[in-house]
Structure 1
Amino acid sequence: MKQESAEVIALKTLTWLVGDEEILPIFLGSSGMSPEELRMRATEMDVLSAVLDFVTMNDEWVNACAMATGLDPHDPMRARQALPGGADIHWT
């Protein structure tokens, strides 16, 4: 996946996350960002990566995001791998 496509998926995921009143506060708490900071930094690569890292921690969130956005449930992880710092991790 190209980085540009990954960024679009990350932005769709962020849009879904911001619209979820239960999950957004969890993300904000874990990231240490305020809603204002999230708005100001929404297109920064480290924020987009953090959003994908966060959402992909929970299969239910991934599936809810995919259903709401029309993404394939594998897209958030594929997108994360295409962004800086997201190379495949091989546990051996």
Structure 2
Amino acid sequence: MKKPAQKTREVAEIVAVQALSFLAGEPERLGQFLAETGIGPETLRSSASDPNFLVSVLDFVLRDDESVKAFAAASKLHPTNIMAAREVLSDRKWERDVP
């Protein structure tokens, strides 16, 4: 039986919010994220409801192995689940070339 798409999206949003919490707990990473996105700390909470913002959070975490491993360990998620959450939130449809 297929999972409802809405539930999958909710889970992806939860993963992204966990990633944001992870960043908030690490001042250096949070500072880098804020500098790159151009948002201020005062708008973090309100931005968390924006799907595009949540994608940017996951993109930031996924951009290097160290961040992915640290977040995966902190959240007890497998790195592929983090990437899957990013894909769900971005609504991208990936096609695979099959020989």
| TM-score (ref. length: structure 2) | 0.81
Q: Which runs of 5+ in 1 are unaligned?
A: none
How is 1:1-16 mapped onto 2 (pairs within 5 angstroms)? Answer: 2-16=8-22
Q: Which residue of 1 aligns with 2:48?
A: 42
For residues 35-66 of structure 1, give each alpha carbon's deviation from its aligned partner in whole angstroms, at most 9, with x where no partner exists.
Answer: 01112211211111110111110111010001
How big is the shift at 1:89? 7.7
Stretches of 4+ aligned residues off by more than 4 angstroms: none
Percent identity over the alignment is 39
| TM-score (ref. length: structure 1) | 0.86
Q: Does 1:63 align with 2:69?
A: yes
CA distance in 2, matches of 1:71, 1:21: 22
Q: Which runs of 5+ in 2 are unaligned?
A: none
Give the aligned length: 90
**Structure with greater helix share of residues:** 2
Q: Work out which of the two has the higher radius of gyration on C-alpha atoms and give 1 or 2.
A: 2
Q: Which residue of 2 aligns with 1:73?
A: 79
What RMSD in Å do the two structures reach over aligned CA positions? 1.8
Does the Cα contact within 8 Å between 1:56 and 1:77 map onto a contact in 2? yes
CA distance in 2, matches of 1:55, 1:18: 12
